[in-house]
Structure 1
């Protein structure tokens, strides 16, 4: 004889109900950063695995609903076009290379519509640029990949922009790109479902620990330069901070507590170049970022990077990069590949 099925006598209204999965929409922009995208989506999958149920679901969107290519050349199939996005708890813009060369008009309209319904709006890597352009970061703290920080700050001077790994400010969340997306998503998962789930996901990722938002994006100068001399590191740090109004060698030496001759020796010994040459390289690299990532006039970029005239800037640029600033910008517009970010 079949055993009767036991039924609960608890009123239906009081019976525990499983929380519906949070649905994340990933808005993929042409040439998006694959590492930032996967670093954002994989923690969601692993959170489901750790919980033994669907805590999260996700949908992918592209401009036209067709497969879209990442900056590494891999095409990713999607669930629909931007305009079809709906029923989301949050939308995350995934961008990467040359984000400023696209108009993003339709995407921005969709994001504004979603935001008006209380949907969380986020971004990884250079997706922060799209949110800023859409006016969706007004009054919110935000961050972006270190390589794009100067250009974004220059184009949107009123933006509350930091160089944190990630920023979660109410219903806006942004991260620096790369694996920083892992830390941002782990922080969100912990907020939704507790630290036990987030910790298990961290272990599955072999991530060792959830990095704090305030940890630096870039390697410190010691690691980047392969130099440990404290006086030299202090001077290079000063150079990176004083771009628009470059300090003289005498001023740098005075701040470092040494003579200009000692400073020259330090740079030649550890970096194989003079302080002046190293400083010029830093300023030219910054100008290159601004040329590629903003539409600001070339003269304005020259002034912002400490050059006294457009001719001086152009001459220095050609000597260092082998092309004029205008040719640099035209190459980008014509689709000639440049170094990717994130």
Structure 2
């Protein structure tokens, strides 16, 4: 895991007019993790296209360094934008972002930042979300964007969220993934957060439902698996991040859910694959890769065993409407509300 090998250097690239809440909600969980954890795992820095003061919509500002010095300064960069993407929408800026990606920098978008990443060509073959105010505009640009109406989406080395306090939930998921569920819960409590929301909020996990009597390690493990459908975790990694031994985790899964840890993980991946087959025009091979299968024959076999027909047959059964192609998301997922209005 990254937490065992290196310190995380995280940068925030601020676009004039960003919402202060979006930035603060992203920064504070990382700062709290440094304060409450065993080591200062995260280093934070702030950038803009031209350096100097970059003002939020409320008038507050951050002092920033120029984007051009970024080559080895960060390993994860979040682009933060508000309602007006303004001068950021230009070829030179997009080229800078592509160069960073080519040098191995992981990228994230907060609120309108995800829209900028998509327009730069950096969200190809990856799921993403943006603030609802940008959703339809981005949706209309191309049916190749795999937009989801989620509060946040983590797909391999891309992190996007809708902004506002959804930034806090995404960063808590990052803390959980890198430093474990126990510290993430401690950070959430310290921030007087009512509870960590998973990426699928307000939907409930099909395994967790509304059941509040499950062991906490089971809840933590399922949320980890739902956030890692492409870059798969091992049983030992899941158990370590959930704060228990592999044996105890297996025992609690059997008693709470009646299945093994890795069977649950496989089911989560297969249901995500089924959703992509039904709601997007991604090639079957691409769907397999996006849900952690490197062998298409194996994917076809386990998919047929689960659903009773092959991935190709599922695709033939499903007629994807143009709107569903652009936004492959269940109809009952998150709608605009007070949380997302702060972006």
TM-score, normalised with respect to structure 2: 0.56
Partner of 2:155: 169
8 Å CA contact retained: 2:50, 2:67:
yes
Partner of 1:68: 54
Matched residue of 2:52: which SS? coil
Partner of 2:142: 156
Partner of 2:175: 189
Alignment of 1:191-270 (within 5 A): 191-216=177-202
CA distance in 2 between counterparts of 1:205 and 1:20 reads 26
Deviation at 1:117, TM superposition (A): 2.0
Deviation at 1:100, TM superposition (A): 5.1
Deviation at 1:102, TM superposition (A): 3.8
2:68 pairs with 78, 83, 91, which one? Answer: 83
Larger RCO (CA under 8 A, 6+ residues apart) = 2
1:143 pairs with 129, 142, 146, which one? Answer: 129
Alignment of 1:307-322 (within 5 A): none
Deviation at 1:341, TM superposition (A): 5.8
Matched residue of 1:94: which SS? strand
CA distance in 1 between counterparts of 2:44 and 2:152 reads 21
8 Å CA contact retained: 1:132, 1:156:
no
Q: Which runs of 5+ in 1 are unaligned?
A: 1-16, 218-303, 305-339
8 Å CA contact retained: 1:90, 1:122:
yes
Partner of 1:107: 93
Ranges of 4+ aligned residues in structure 1 off by more than 6 Å:
none
Larger CA deviation: 106-115 vs 24-33 = 106-115
Deviation at 1:19, TM superposition (A): 4.4
Q: Which runs of 5+ in 2 are unaligned?
A: 204-322, 324-340
8 Å CA contact retained: 2:83, 2:133:
no
8 Å CA contact retained: 1:82, 1:107:
no
2:81 pairs with 90, 95, 102, which one? Answer: 95
The structure having more radius of gyration, on CA atoms, is: 1
